[in-house]
Amino acid sequence: MSAAKDVGAPEFDKQGLYREDSFTDRRVGNIRQLTPVTVAGERDESRPVLYMGATQVMTGAGPVPLNFDIPAENLGEAADKFGEAAEKAVEDMAARLEALRREQASSIVVPGQKRPGNSGLIGV
């Protein structure tokens, strides 16, 4: 029996449906407006509209996609807060990377054991 069958088929959350609209300035990034809807496709007024930003950050290894929430009440406010939310997302990403770097640097290497990411072969 395969592992996929053990997990079971994913169930679609019919109570958490959103219609997605995408807006771009064709320069800096995209804003996704997620409008909550019912299973009939009608606007669900009991849940708020959500806004998500997407852009790319240039690194030494090339562009890295960045997705982040934008706390806003409408599209105009989301556009105004895009830069601030993107900067916070970059800071959060940098902090996570630094934590991972510290974790890797503090790994205890026991003689005779392979280090993570090392095949154990000389020169590999």
For the whole model, what pTM was predicted? 0.73
Cα–Cα distances in angstroms (integers) from residue 122 to residues 3, 41, 114, 115, 119, in the given order? 35, 60, 11, 12, 8
Question: Which string of DSSP letters, residue by residue, matches 52-72?
Answer: EEEEEEEETTEEEEEEEE---
* pLDDT values of the chain reduced to their tens digit, one per residue, 124 residues: 455 557 889 999 999 999 999 999 999 999 999 999 999 999 999 999 999 999 999 888 899 999 999 999 999 999 999 999 999 999 999 898 889 888 888 876 667 666 555 555 555 4
pLDDT recorded at residue 53 = 98
Supply the Cα-derived Rg of the chain in whole angstroms: 21
Q: Where are the domains of the chain?
A: 13-105
pLDDT recorded at residue 114 = 62
Give CA–CA dist 72/51, Å, rounded: 7
Give CA–CA dist 52/71, Å, rounded: 8
